[in-house]
Structure 1
Amino acid sequence: MAAPPVIAVVGPTGSGKSDLAVNLALKLDGEVINADAMQFYRGMDIGTAKITVAERRGVPHHLLDILDVTQEASVSDFQHQARGTIDDIHARGKRAILAGGSGLYVRAALDVLEFPGTDPVLRARLEAEHAELGTGALLARLRTVDPISADRVSDARRIIRALEVQELTGRPFSSFMPRREYYQQAVQVGLDVDRGVLRERLAARVHRMVDAGLLDEVRMLDARGLRRGKTASRALGYSQFLRVADGASTMQDAVEETIVATRQFARRQLTWFRADPRIAWLDWQDPELTAKAVELCR
C-alpha cells in the first residue's frame, strides 16, 4: 500500500505551528518531525520557544535536541535524517507531520532537491582569499561564473559556498536550486496570520522569554561554546543577549533588537512560504482550524 502524504505545517514564527502539529498528530495518529533549524540545538529552549514535553501531550517528536551548540546545522544532513524519519513513521502505520518555519529545511524534506558536496581544502582556500581580497572581489568572481547566484547572495558565507560548488562540480550553484516538485506525496498547511496581531504577539513572546530566563540560558550556552557555533550563535535573541552578557548592551536594548529582528524574520518567512502555490492557507485564529486542517490532510 502506498504511503500517505507527508503533512507539513508551515508559517511564520509565533503563528502556532507546534500546537497545530500536535493537534493533527492526535487526530490522525501521527508523529511530529521538527523543521526549525534552531530547535535542533540542545539547551536552546527558551529563546527558540521549543515545545515542552507537557505541550507535546504524549505525541512523539523527532529531530529536536540533536546537536550541540558548537555544531553547524546542515540542510543536507537534515534532508537525510528527515526522510529516514518519515519512512520509519509511515512504516509503522503512522502519519508523518513536519512542523517548522525554516523554509529551506522544509523544502529539503519535501521537494526534489540535490545537495552538492563540500571540499574542506577548497573551502579553506576560498576563505583565505576572502580574508585577503574581501567580499566584493569574490562576488565579482562569482558574477563571471554564476551571475544568477551573484544576484541572489550578498553575504560572504553564501558567496564562498557558491564559488566552492562551482569549482567542485563544474556547475553553477544556481543549477542546484530546488524545484517545486515533491519528492513524495505531501500536503502543506500554512497558517495565515493577521500581521498586526502577529507583531504584538511576537513582542509579547520576547518579553516572556526574558522573564523565563533567556539571559541565564544564553550564559549557560556560552559556557558550552555558543560563540563557536556558526549556526547557533546567529539565532534570534542569542546573539543580542550575548552582548548583554558581555556588558556591551543593556537588557532593554537587547529586547528591542530581538523584537525587531523577530518581526523581520517573520516577514521573510511569509514571503518565502507565500511564493509556494501548493500551500493551503488556513486562518491561524479560526476556532475550526484543527478540523479544517484534518480535512485537508485526509
Structure 2
Amino acid sequence: MNKLIVICGATATGKSGLALNLAPKLGAVILSADSRQVYREFTIGTAKPNLAEQKLVPHYLIDICDPTETMTVADYQEQAQALIANLGISPLLLVGGTGLYIRSIVQGMKIPRVAPQPELRSHLESLGQTQLYGMLQQVDPLAAQKIHPHDLVRTLRALEVYYVTGIPISDQQGENPPNYPILQIGLDCDADRLESRIQRRTEAMMADGLVDEVEYLCQKYGVDLPLLNTLGYQEIKQYLGGEITLTTAQELTVLHTRQFAKRQRTWFRAYPQIEWYDADDADLLAKIGERIHEFIHDK
C-alpha cells in the first residue's frame, strides 16, 4: 500500500531542502504542492527546484501548466491523485506550502469541477454583494450559512457552481479521505528567525536573476498577466515600471512574504494531524528520519 509523507509549513522554513535530504534515503520522489510552481517559466520567484535538484530527485507537479492557463485545485487534485495511484513508489513525499493543495489530497476534498465563467461572474458582480447573498440564501441556504455576507469571492463561486450545474455547491462538497496511511510533518520557527530566512532567500533570488526573469515574463506575456501580480513578481514589476527603487522592491518582497508566511502558519496550525518540528533544530534530519522510520514500518 502507498504511504504518503507530507512536508508542509510556511514559506522559507526549509521544506524543499529537507525533502531533498530525505528522498534519496527513502527511495522516494517528490510531489510539489505549490500553486505557482505548476506554471512554466515562473522559476526563480517561486523557489522552484533547479535542474541539479531535479536530477538528484525526480519531481512531479512542477512545470505542468502554461502561465496563460489556470490550474484549479480540482485540476491539481486529479493529477496528484493519479500519480499517487500509478507511480508504484512508496513512500511518496508531498512537499509545499499551498494549504488547499495539501488538504485536497490528505482529506480527499470533493471539489465541483466547474471552470470559471467570466461572463456569468461579470453579470453577477454587477448586481452587488447584498443581492447576490440574498440569491445564494434562496438557492443554497446551507452554503450561505457557511459564507460571510460580505464574502464576494465565495458567494460568486457558490452561485457560479449552482447556475452551471443546477446543483447547490453544498451538495457537491464534502470529503472522501484516501485509504493509505499519511504522515504530516510541519516545519516552523519563531517570527524573527523566519524573517531572517525570508531576507536571505529574497537576496538569493535577486542574485539568481529575479529581475531578469520578471523583465522577460513582462515582455513575453504582458504586464497584465495575473501571475505577475503575485508575491515577488509584483514588486519587481513595479521597479521595472519606474514606480519604486530596486531596494524598495526587495524590502516590499520581504514584507509581503512575511505577511504571507503568517497566513500560512495560521492555516496549517488549524490541523492537529500535523506533527511540528523546529526548522532550525540541529538534529532536525535525525529526528524526522526516526519518525519516518516508525511510520514506514508501522503495520
- Normalising by structure 1, we get a TM-score of 0.86
In the TM superposition, residue 81 of structure 1 has moved relative to its aligned partner by 0.8
Q: Paired residue for 1:277?
A: 272
**SS state of the match for residue 69, structure 1?**
coil
Distance in structure 2 (CA, Å) of the matches to 1:293 and 1:178: 32
Aligned residues: 290
Does residue 256 of the first structure (1) align with residue 254 of the second (2)?
A: no
Distance in structure 2 (CA, Å) of the matches to 1:172 and 1:250: 49
Q: Paired residue for 1:197?
A: 193
In the TM superposition, residue 112 of structure 1 has moved relative to its aligned partner by 1.9
Which residues of 2 match residues 44-83 of structure 1 at below 5 A?
A: 44-56=42-54, 58-83=56-81
Which residues of 2 match residues 101-120 of structure 1 at below 5 A?
A: 101-118=97-114
**Root-mean-square deviation over aligned CA pairs:** 2.5
**SS state of the match for residue 30, structure 1?**
coil
In the TM superposition, residue 169 of structure 1 has moved relative to its aligned partner by 4.7
In the TM superposition, residue 151 of structure 1 has moved relative to its aligned partner by 1.5
Give the direction of change, closer, same or farther, for the CA distance of 1:172–1:161 in structure 2 (3 Å limit). same
In the TM superposition, residue 143 of structure 1 has moved relative to its aligned partner by 5.5
Q: Aligned partner of 1:238: which letter?
A: Y
Gaps in structure 1 of 5+ consecutive residues = none
Distance in structure 2 (CA, Å) of the matches to 1:129 and 1:254: 36
In the TM superposition, residue 227 of structure 1 has moved relative to its aligned partner by 4.3
In structure 2, which of residues 252, 269, 284 is the aligned counterpart of residue 289 of structure 1? 284
**SS state of the match for residue 249, structure 2?**
helix
Give the direction of change, closer, same or farther, for the CA distance of 1:77–1:154 in structure 2 (3 Å limit). same
Which residues of 2 match residues 64-143 of structure 1 at below 5 A?
A: 64-89=62-87, 91=88, 93-118=89-114, 123-130=118-125, 132-135=126-129, 137-139=131-133, 141-142=135-136
Which residues of 2 match residues 161-240 of structure 1 at below 5 A?
A: 161-169=157-165, 172-173=168-169, 179=175, 181-182=177-178, 184-225=180-221, 227=223, 229-230=225-226, 232-240=227-235
In structure 1, which of residues 254, 261, 267 is the aligned counterpart of residue 262 of structure 2? 267
In the TM superposition, residue 208 of structure 1 has moved relative to its aligned partner by 2.5
**SS state of the match for residue 186, structure 2?**
strand
**SS state of the match for residue 37, structure 2?**
helix
Give the direction of change, closer, same or farther, for the CA distance of 1:153–1:281 in structure 2 (3 Å limit). farther
Distance in structure 2 (CA, Å) of the matches to 1:76 and 1:101: 17
In structure 1, which of residues 142, 147, 150 is the aligned counterpart of residue 147 of structure 2? 150
In the TM superposition, residue 217 of structure 1 has moved relative to its aligned partner by 0.6
> Which range moved further: 11-20 or 258-267?
258-267
Distance in structure 2 (CA, Å) of the matches to 1:173 and 1:62: 30
Task: Indicate conservation of the 8 Å contact 2:124/2:156, yes or no.
Answer: no
Give the direction of change, closer, same or farther, for the CA distance of 1:208–1:185 in structure 2 (3 Å limit). same
Distance in structure 1 (CA, Å) of the matches to 2:8 and 2:231: 19
Task: Indicate conservation of the 8 Å contact 1:142/1:149, yes or no.
Answer: no
In the TM superposition, residue 30 of structure 1 has moved relative to its aligned partner by 0.3
- Normalising by structure 2, we get a TM-score of 0.86
In the TM superposition, residue 187 of structure 1 has moved relative to its aligned partner by 0.8
Gaps in structure 2 of 5+ consecutive residues = none
Give the direction of change, closer, same or farther, for the CA distance of 1:117–1:203 in structure 2 (3 Å limit). same
Q: Aligned partner of 2:145: which letter?
A: I
Q: Aligned partner of 1:242: which letter?
A: K
Percent identity of paired positions between Structure 1 and Structure 2: 37
In the TM superposition, residue 128 of structure 1 has moved relative to its aligned partner by 2.5
